[in-house]
Amino acid sequence: MIRLLPLLVAAVLASAAPAAAHSLLLDSEPKADATLAASPTRLLLRFNNRIEKRLSRVRLLDERGTGRALTVAVDDQTVDRLIADVPALGPGLYRVEWQVLSTDGHVVSGFFKFRVAP
């Protein structure tokens, strides 16, 4: 029985699945809750792991809830970031809504807000 113990341990370790990790938003430009003196020209969202950009979405909503989908750049060389150009924004509060496909196959979404000062 003692001779079988190392084989049993090896079999259990070999069959263990790798840990799955949902994508988490680590950083953004503009920063969450930031107040900007001028309209940003782009959004940058950085995640903790690789994301599938072609299946990702970013929307920008103004204070009235009027939204517009932003086009995510897919030719970017980084695999953990979403980058989207932003049209000129007037003063006000904006909400960025994002949705990405994680490397573990789960769809993850979230949001943050920023303000453009008058």
What one-character-per-residue DSSP string does 22-71 give?
---EEEEESPTT-EESS--SEEEEEESS-B-GGG-EEEEE-TT--EEEEP
Q: Map tokens 């086009």 to a residue.
A: 71
When pLDDT is averaged across residues 56-75 and rounded to a whole number, the result is 92
CB contact set of 14 (below 8 Å; sequence gap of 6+): none
Q: What is the mean pLDDT of residues 15-42?
A: 83
Q: What pLDDT score was predicted for residue 11? A: 45
Distance CA 39, CA 117 (A): 9
> Does the pLDDT value for residue 86 go beyond 90?
yes
pLDDT above 50 for 9: no
Q: What is the pLDDT of residue 74?
A: 85
Sign of CA dihedral 94, 59, 22, 106: positive
